[in-house]
């Protein structure tokens, strides 16, 4: 089977962990073990989040008072390169081969997307109420809830096109494990004269992953995070959803900054392709693939008996 595996930023770097190199490398090495188990038996394309990493780079850029901060599209490219390198190297170490390629990926967005007027995508570390008040006053940042704390929020426009799709398809067809679409892709817009430029935004990685999986003709989409399943009663977490159709799944309400994009991505992929999507923990990826763990979204009505 051809499987797109979308690795959440919090799956690669736990929420409360320091975004340090050694911490990230250790968690990515652990993640690579779960990915490699599937890659030995299936065609695998890997996408990944970059929220903690791009947020850290943005903070570091502000520390250089005599240098203008780099724009977010450039910081996104930096995180793609860093995480692509770490993931590719960890997979090569596990699989004992070098047929892993990281592709710097751009995603086209609409400059008139209404998301630009309503920042909602969390990036960076978790802040306390006191820190939020200080940063909002000093930096004029917008924040969104993330668990018990807050994270900086940025516009999250809809991904419309993956510019490097032909290269990703060619590498996959040639037998490579491809790491791509990091952070949902670098958001770019086409200007007059057919020129491209980046914009200040962060694309949702799961929506780009669904778009990628659809155009690659994938059989399945695994949305991997630090939560073991989708819960009908979040945050109480007493009612995990095991198997469900997109139609039924859309009847529930989920947090706009975290679970809702995964639910939407899973539903879109299933509706457009007839394949399956699973949402759950990265460490349980093999069990998610077979439907033994997590939440499985499929076109067929689940058997409740």
Helix (H, G, I), strand (E, B) or coil at 153: strand
Could you tell me which residues are beta bridge partners of residue 221? 4, 277
Distance, in Å, from the CA atom of 78 to the CA atom of 200, rounded to the nearest integer, reads 15
CA angle (219 as vertex; 218, 220 as ends), nearest 5: 95
Residue 5 near residue 46 (C-beta atoms within 8 A): yes
Determine which of 27-36, 86-95, 275-284 has the lowest per-residue pLDDT on average. Answer: 27-36
Neighbours of 40 (CB within 10 A): 10
**Beta 195-198 vs 186-191: how paired, if at all?**
antiparallel
CA angle (277 as vertex; 80, 226 as ends), nearest 5: 55
End-to-end CA distance of the chain: 29
- What is the model's pLDDT at position 304? 40
- What is the model's pLDDT at position 68? 76
Q: Is the peptide bond before 235 cis (omega within 30 degrees of 0)?
A: yes
CA dihedral angle for residue 118, residue 157, residue 182, residue 235, rounded to 10 degrees: 50
Model confidence band, residue 127 (pLDDT cutoffs 50, 70, 90)? confident
3-state helix, strand, coil in the chain (%, to 5): 40, 25, 35
- What is the model's pLDDT at position 148? 81
Instruction: Give percent of the chain with pLDDT exceeding 90.
Output: 52
Active site residues per annotation: 9-10, 121, 205, 262
Distance, in Å, from the CA atom of 219 to the CA atom of 3, rounded to the nearest integer, reads 6
pLDDT over threshold 80, residue 124: no
Position of tokens 């977010």?
A: 72
Q: Give whole-number Cα distances, 52 to 152, 233, 284, in Å.
A: 10, 27, 22
**Mean pLDDT rounded to a whole number for the chain:** 88
77 CB contacts (<8 Å, ≥6 apart)?
A: 104, 186
- What is the model's pLDDT at position 236? 74
pLDDT over threshold 90, residue 185: yes
- What is the model's pLDDT at position 238? 80
Residue 130 near residue 206 (C-beta atoms within 8 A): no
Write the pLDDT tens digit of every residue in 245-302.
Answer: 999 998 888 877 678 889 999 999 999 999 999 999 988 999 999 989 999 999 985 4
- Predicted TM-score (pTM) of this structure: 0.87
Among 305, 283, 275, which Cα is nearest to 296's?
Answer: 275
Among 195, 196, 211, 208, which Cα is nearest to 157's?
Answer: 208
Write the pLDDT tens digit of every residue in 48-79.
Answer: 988 778 777 877 776 777 877 788 899 899 98
- What is the model's pLDDT at position 303? 47
Residue 37, both tokens: 């188990």
Helix (H, G, I), strand (E, B) or coil at 257: coil
* Dihedral sign of CA atoms 64, 68, 74, 75 in order: positive
Model confidence band, residue 97 (pLDDT cutoffs 50, 70, 90)? confident
Among 8, 225, 23, 258, which Cα is nearest to 151's?
Answer: 258
């Amino acid at each position: 089977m051809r499987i797109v595996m979308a690795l959440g930023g919090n799956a690669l770097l736990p929420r409360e962990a320091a975004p340090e190199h050694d911490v990230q490398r250790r968690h990515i090495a652990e993640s690579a073990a779960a990915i490699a188990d599937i890659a030995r038996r299936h065609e695998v394309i890997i996408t990944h989040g970059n929220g903690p990493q791009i947020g850290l780079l943005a903070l570091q850029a502000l520390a250089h008072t005599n240098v203008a901060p780099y724009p977010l599209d450039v910081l996104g490219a930096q995180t793609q390169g860093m995480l692509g390198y770490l993931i590719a190297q960890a997979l090569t170490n596990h699989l004992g081969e070098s047929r892993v390629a990281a592709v710097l990926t751009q995603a086209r967005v609409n400059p008139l997307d209404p998301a630009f007027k309503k920042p909602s995508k969390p990036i960076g570390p978790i802040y306390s109420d006191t820190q939020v008040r200080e940063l909002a006053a000093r930096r004029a940042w917008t924040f969104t809830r993330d668990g018990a704390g807050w994270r900086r929020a940025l516009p999250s426009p809809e991904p419309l096109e993956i510019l490097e799709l032909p290269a990703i398809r060619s590498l996959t067809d040639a037998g490579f494990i491809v790491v791509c679409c990091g952070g949902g892709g670098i958001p770019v817009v086409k200007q007059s004269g057919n020129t491209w430029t980046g914009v200040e935004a962060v694309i949702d990685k799961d929506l780009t992953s669904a778009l990628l999986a659809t155009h690659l003709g994938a059989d399945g989409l695994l949305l991997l995070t630090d939560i073991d399943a989708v819960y009908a009663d979040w945050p109480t977490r007493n009612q995990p959803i095991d198997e469900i159709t997109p139609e039924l799944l859309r009847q529930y309400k989920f947090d706009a900054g975290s679970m809702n994009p995964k639910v939407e991505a899973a539903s879109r992929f299933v509706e457009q392709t007839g394949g399956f999507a699973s949402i759950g923990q990265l460490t349980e990826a093999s069990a998610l693939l077979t439907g033994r763990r997590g939440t499985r979204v499929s076109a067929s009505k689940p058997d409740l008996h």
